[in-house]
Amino acid sequence: MLKVLTELKYLFKRFVIIANAAPAVLGFFIALRYHDAYFTDYWLDFILLVVGALMIVGGALTLNNWLEADVDRLMERTKNRPTVTGTIPMPIILLIGIVLSFVGEVLLWLINWEVALYGFIGWFTYVVVYTMWTKRRFTWNTHIGSISGAVTPMMGWAVIDSTFHVIPISIFIIMFLWQMPHTYAIAIRKQEDYTNSGLQMLPVVKGKRVTIRRNAIYIALLLFVPLMVRGYSSLFYILITILNVAWFIIALAGFKATNIKKWANILFASSLAYLLLMYTLYVVFA
* N-terminal to C-terminal alpha carbon distance within the chain: 43
Residue type, 118: Y
Beta carbons of 221 and 177 less than 8 angstroms apart: yes
**What residues have CB less than 8 Å from 278, skipping those under 6 apart?**
174, 178, 240, 243
* pLDDT by position in tens, the chain (length 286): 556 566 666 777 777 888 889 999 999 999 999 999 999 999 999 999 999 999 999 999 999 999 999 998 988 888 888 888 888 999 999 999 999 999 999 999 999 999 999 999 999 999 999 999 999 999 999 999 999 999 999 999 999 999 999 999 999 999 999 999 999 999 999 988 888 888 899 999 999 999 999 999 999 999 999 989 988 999 999 999 999 999 999 999 999 999 999 999 999 999 999 999 999 999 999 8
Closest CA to 54 of 95, 23, 79, 84: 23
pLDDT per position as a tens digit, 178-227: 999 999 999 999 988 888 888 899 999 999 999 999 999 999 999 999 98
Q: Return the CATH number of the domain spanning residue range 1-164.
A: 1.10.357.140
The pLDDT of residue 6: 66
What number of other Cβ atoms are within 10 A of residue 228's Cβ? 11
